Amino acid sequence: SQKIEQNSEALNIQEGKTATLTCNYTNYSPAYLQWYRQDPGRGPVFLLLIRENEKEKRKERLKVTFDTTLKQSLFHITASQPADSATYLCALAPNSGNTPLVFGKGTRLSVIA
Amino acid sequence: GAGVSQTPSNKVTEKGKYVELRCDPISGHTALYWYRQSLGQGPEFLIYFQGTGAADDSGLPNDRFFAVRPEGSVSTLKIQRTERGDSAVYLCASSQRSTGKTEAFFGQGTRLTVV
């Protein structure tokens, strides 16, 4: 069956450290993978998109990698701050056509001052 | 408007009643998506519109759920004979094209509670 797994429900890290979140998928061959941030009571907010032929994408303190051989994406937040505390969702487009995003369950990140 | 707007933000209804949830997407966005999110879960796809037509309704759980987008802009999600298991946050998103290739913009959601 098709699955998207974000490896931990919750992750606690110390302020200033790098947070690394993992997204693994099974039985998909996604053309695109996206990461979203969701705060309590709010809708998800887009952060980064990476294509299947890209290994890495960066935006300010954020970095995403995409390994189609391992079927995995890693999401890194460097120099983490308490304001980074939120749930982070991995989402993939199953193919290159007009298909809706499929989401993982998310990882709740808490950055402790 | 500046973003995706969903109304109402909260809806409490009795089991068996009919409800309508409204989504006003970003102007000019042709793709519109409905998702449902339960506590501790990621958004679960329900239905996708490209323009006025439902391009993919494979996520609708049963025939009590229906959605329309008659003029290619505002969309309404309709739930008949609501059940307690329908309680969740219903999220709407829009994008310029397929969400795979571009970012999706989400509304704040409608929290539906069936009592």
Phi-psi domain of B91 (left: phi exceeds 0; alpha: psi -120 through 50; beta: other): beta
Mean pLDDT of A103-113: 96
Strands of A56-59's sheet, edge to edge? A3-6, A19-26, A72-77, A62-67, A56-59
The whole-number pLDDT of residue A96 equals 64
Q: Which of A46, A94, A103 sits opposite B43 (nearest CB)?
A: A103
| Res B1: pLDDT | 54
A97/B98 touch (CB, cutoff 8 Å), yes or no: yes
Shortest distance between the Cα of A44 and any Cα of chain B, in A, equals: 6
pLDDT at A85 over 90: yes
Report the candidate in B21, B47, B46, B45 with the shortest Cα–Cα distance to residue B108: B21
Degrees to nearest 5, angle at CA A83 with A109 and B34: 65
Q: pLDDT digit string (tens) for B42-99? A: 999 999 999 888 889 999 999 999 999 999 999 999 999 999 999 999 999 999 876 6
Of A43, A99, A105, the CB nearest to B109: A43
Mean pLDDT of B106-114: 98
Question: How do residues A17-56 score in pLDDT, each as one tens digit?
Answer: 999 999 999 998 888 899 999 999 999 999 999 998 999 9
